[in-house]
Structure 1
Amino acid sequence: MSPLIDICPLDELPPGARRTIEHDDLDITVVNVGGTLYAIEDRCSHDDGPLGDGPIDAAACTIECPRHGSLFDLRTGVPKTLPAYQPVETFPVTVSGGIVRIDVD
Protein backbone atom coordinates (compact mmCIF):
# COMPACT_ATOMS: atom_id res chain seq x y z
CA MET A 1 0.00 0.00 0.00
CA SER A 2 1.34 3.42 -0.95
CA PRO A 3 2.00 6.02 1.73
CA LEU A 4 -0.72 8.66 1.83
CA ILE A 5 0.18 12.05 3.23
CA ASP A 6 -2.53 14.18 4.84
CA ILE A 7 -2.53 17.72 3.45
CA CYS A 8 -5.50 19.49 5.05
CA PRO A 9 -9.28 19.36 5.37
CA LEU A 10 -10.96 19.83 1.99
CA ASP A 11 -12.79 22.95 3.17
CA GLU A 12 -9.38 24.62 3.74
CA LEU A 13 -8.52 24.15 0.04
CA PRO A 14 -11.34 25.84 -1.91
CA PRO A 15 -11.09 26.52 -5.66
CA GLY A 16 -8.14 28.79 -6.36
CA ALA A 17 -6.32 27.85 -3.15
CA ARG A 18 -3.02 26.03 -2.80
CA ARG A 19 -1.02 24.41 -0.05
CA THR A 20 2.68 23.46 -0.06
CA ILE A 21 4.11 20.76 2.18
CA GLU A 22 7.51 19.15 2.61
CA HIS A 23 7.85 15.37 2.60
CA ASP A 24 11.21 13.59 2.73
CA ASP A 25 13.09 16.67 1.45
CA LEU A 26 10.59 17.08 -1.39
CA ASP A 27 8.33 20.13 -1.56
CA ILE A 28 4.90 19.42 -3.05
CA THR A 29 2.19 21.95 -3.90
CA VAL A 30 -1.46 20.93 -3.94
CA VAL A 31 -3.79 23.25 -5.86
CA ASN A 32 -7.54 23.35 -6.33
CA VAL A 33 -8.34 24.26 -9.93
CA GLY A 34 -12.08 24.69 -10.34
CA GLY A 35 -12.82 21.93 -7.84
CA THR A 36 -10.22 19.47 -9.16
CA LEU A 37 -7.18 18.84 -6.96
CA TYR A 38 -3.67 18.48 -8.39
CA ALA A 39 -0.34 17.85 -6.65
CA ILE A 40 2.92 18.83 -8.32
CA GLU A 41 6.52 18.99 -7.23
CA ASP A 42 7.31 22.51 -6.03
CA ARG A 43 10.47 22.74 -8.11
CA CYS A 44 11.03 24.13 -11.58
CA SER A 45 13.13 21.66 -13.53
CA HIS A 46 14.90 24.56 -15.26
CA ASP A 47 16.67 26.01 -12.22
CA ASP A 48 15.23 24.27 -9.13
CA GLY A 49 13.32 27.42 -8.13
CA PRO A 50 9.96 27.27 -6.38
CA LEU A 51 7.13 26.47 -8.76
CA GLY A 52 4.21 26.51 -6.35
CA ASP A 53 4.14 30.30 -5.99
CA GLY A 54 3.54 30.84 -9.70
CA PRO A 55 0.31 31.93 -11.37
CA ILE A 56 -2.20 29.24 -12.28
CA ASP A 57 -4.15 29.23 -15.53
CA ALA A 58 -7.29 27.25 -14.69
CA ALA A 59 -8.46 27.02 -18.32
CA ALA A 60 -5.14 25.54 -19.49
CA CYS A 61 -4.52 23.64 -16.22
CA THR A 62 -0.98 25.03 -15.96
CA ILE A 63 1.24 26.65 -13.39
CA GLU A 64 3.88 29.19 -14.42
CA CYS A 65 7.35 29.31 -12.93
CA PRO A 66 7.64 32.74 -11.30
CA ARG A 67 11.35 33.01 -12.18
CA HIS A 68 11.54 32.38 -15.92
CA GLY A 69 7.97 31.78 -17.10
CA SER A 70 7.97 28.09 -18.03
CA LEU A 71 4.47 26.66 -18.01
CA PHE A 72 3.95 23.21 -16.49
CA ASP A 73 0.89 21.02 -16.98
CA LEU A 74 -0.59 20.39 -13.51
CA ARG A 75 -1.92 16.99 -14.61
CA THR A 76 1.35 15.56 -15.93
CA GLY A 77 4.21 17.81 -14.78
CA VAL A 78 5.35 18.18 -18.39
CA PRO A 79 6.66 21.64 -19.31
CA LYS A 80 4.71 23.30 -22.11
CA THR A 81 7.18 26.14 -22.72
CA LEU A 82 10.90 26.78 -22.47
CA PRO A 83 13.30 27.27 -20.79
CA ALA A 84 12.23 24.15 -18.87
CA TYR A 85 12.24 20.93 -20.87
CA GLN A 86 12.30 18.22 -18.17
CA PRO A 87 9.07 17.25 -16.41
CA VAL A 88 8.55 17.48 -12.66
CA GLU A 89 6.77 14.90 -10.54
CA THR A 90 3.02 14.87 -10.02
CA PHE A 91 1.18 12.91 -7.38
CA PRO A 92 -2.31 11.38 -7.17
CA VAL A 93 -4.70 13.28 -4.90
CA THR A 94 -7.61 11.73 -3.02
CA VAL A 95 -10.16 13.00 -0.53
CA SER A 96 -11.16 10.61 2.22
CA GLY A 97 -13.22 11.53 5.25
CA GLY A 98 -13.04 15.17 4.19
CA ILE A 99 -9.21 15.14 4.25
CA VAL A 100 -7.09 15.89 1.18
CA ARG A 101 -4.32 13.30 0.82
CA ILE A 102 -1.57 12.70 -1.71
CA ASP A 103 0.06 9.44 -2.72
CA VAL A 104 3.84 9.96 -2.63
CA ASP A 105 4.92 6.49 -3.72
Structure 2
Amino acid sequence: MQQSERALSGEITFEKNIVTTGKSIILFSSLEEYNVYLSLFNECKRGLDSFDINIRGEFFSVTWDYEQGPISGEPFSSYSDDSPTHVRNVTLKFITV
Protein backbone atom coordinates (compact mmCIF):
# COMPACT_ATOMS: atom_id res chain seq x y z
CA MET A 1 0.00 0.00 0.00
CA GLN A 2 1.28 3.48 -0.83
CA GLN A 3 -0.03 6.84 0.33
CA SER A 4 1.04 10.34 -0.63
CA GLU A 5 0.27 13.75 0.86
CA ARG A 6 1.66 17.26 0.80
CA ALA A 7 3.83 18.47 3.67
CA LEU A 8 3.56 21.97 5.12
CA SER A 9 6.42 23.00 2.83
CA GLY A 10 4.41 21.90 -0.22
CA GLU A 11 6.55 18.86 -0.95
CA ILE A 12 4.84 15.57 -1.72
CA THR A 13 5.75 12.83 0.75
CA PHE A 14 5.18 9.13 0.14
CA GLU A 15 4.58 6.45 2.72
CA LYS A 16 4.68 2.75 1.89
CA ASN A 17 3.25 0.04 4.13
CA ILE A 18 2.68 -3.66 3.79
CA VAL A 19 -0.89 -4.87 4.10
CA THR A 20 -0.58 -8.34 5.57
CA THR A 21 -3.46 -10.22 4.03
CA GLY A 22 -1.53 -12.89 2.15
CA LYS A 23 -0.23 -16.33 2.94
CA SER A 24 2.96 -16.58 4.99
CA ILE A 25 5.89 -18.43 3.38
CA ILE A 26 8.94 -19.38 5.46
CA LEU A 27 12.08 -20.88 3.92
CA PHE A 28 14.81 -22.40 6.08
CA SER A 29 18.39 -23.49 5.44
CA SER A 30 20.68 -25.04 8.03
CA LEU A 31 23.89 -23.64 6.50
CA GLU A 32 24.71 -21.09 3.76
CA GLU A 33 27.84 -19.30 2.65
CA TYR A 34 28.18 -15.84 4.18
CA ASN A 35 28.13 -14.14 0.75
CA VAL A 36 24.77 -15.74 -0.08
CA TYR A 37 23.32 -14.61 3.27
CA LEU A 38 24.71 -11.09 2.82
CA SER A 39 23.19 -10.71 -0.65
CA LEU A 40 19.78 -11.86 0.66
CA PHE A 41 20.08 -9.49 3.63
CA ASN A 42 20.86 -6.56 1.30
CA GLU A 43 17.99 -7.54 -1.00
CA CYS A 44 15.46 -7.46 1.85
CA LYS A 45 16.50 -3.87 2.66
CA ARG A 46 15.57 -2.65 -0.84
CA GLY A 47 11.94 -2.01 0.02
CA LEU A 48 8.41 -3.27 -0.22
CA ASP A 49 8.28 -4.12 -3.92
CA SER A 50 6.87 -7.53 -4.73
CA PHE A 51 8.74 -10.18 -6.71
CA ASP A 52 8.21 -13.76 -7.83
CA ILE A 53 9.79 -16.81 -6.24
CA ASN A 54 9.73 -20.39 -7.51
CA ILE A 55 9.25 -23.11 -4.90
CA ARG A 56 9.37 -26.59 -6.42
CA GLY A 57 7.88 -25.42 -9.71
CA GLU A 58 5.12 -23.28 -8.17
CA PHE A 59 5.44 -19.51 -8.55
CA PHE A 60 4.40 -17.08 -5.83
CA SER A 61 4.26 -13.28 -5.94
CA VAL A 62 5.67 -12.22 -2.57
CA THR A 63 7.18 -9.41 -0.54
CA TRP A 64 9.43 -9.65 2.51
CA ASP A 65 7.50 -10.10 5.78
CA TYR A 66 8.82 -7.13 7.77
CA GLU A 67 6.28 -7.65 10.53
CA GLN A 68 7.85 -11.01 11.46
CA GLY A 69 11.45 -10.05 10.56
CA PRO A 70 12.35 -10.83 6.96
CA ILE A 71 15.65 -12.67 7.46
CA SER A 72 17.61 -14.16 10.31
CA GLY A 73 20.69 -16.31 10.75
CA GLU A 74 23.58 -17.06 13.10
CA PRO A 75 27.23 -16.59 12.12
CA PHE A 76 29.06 -19.92 12.02
CA SER A 77 32.78 -20.12 12.54
CA SER A 78 34.90 -22.92 13.91
CA TYR A 79 37.74 -20.55 14.73
CA SER A 80 38.22 -16.85 15.42
CA ASP A 81 38.31 -14.70 12.28
CA ASP A 82 37.26 -11.25 11.09
CA SER A 83 34.05 -12.38 9.43
CA PRO A 84 32.27 -15.73 9.27
CA THR A 85 32.55 -17.90 6.19
CA HIS A 86 29.08 -19.42 6.73
CA VAL A 87 25.76 -18.60 8.40
CA ARG A 88 23.61 -21.29 10.01
CA ASN A 89 19.88 -21.50 10.70
CA VAL A 90 19.01 -19.06 7.90
CA THR A 91 15.29 -18.23 7.85
CA LEU A 92 13.60 -16.16 5.09
CA LYS A 93 10.07 -14.91 5.71
CA PHE A 94 7.75 -13.77 2.91
CA ILE A 95 4.08 -12.97 2.52
CA THR A 96 2.12 -13.45 -0.70
CA VAL A 97 0.59 -10.43 -2.40
TM-score range, shorter chain: under 0.3
Considering Cα pairs closer than 8 Å and 6+ residues apart, tell me whether 1 or 2 has the greater RCO: 2
More helix by share: 2
TM-score (norm 1): 0.26
Larger radius of gyration, structure 1 or 2? 2
TM-score (norm 2): 0.28
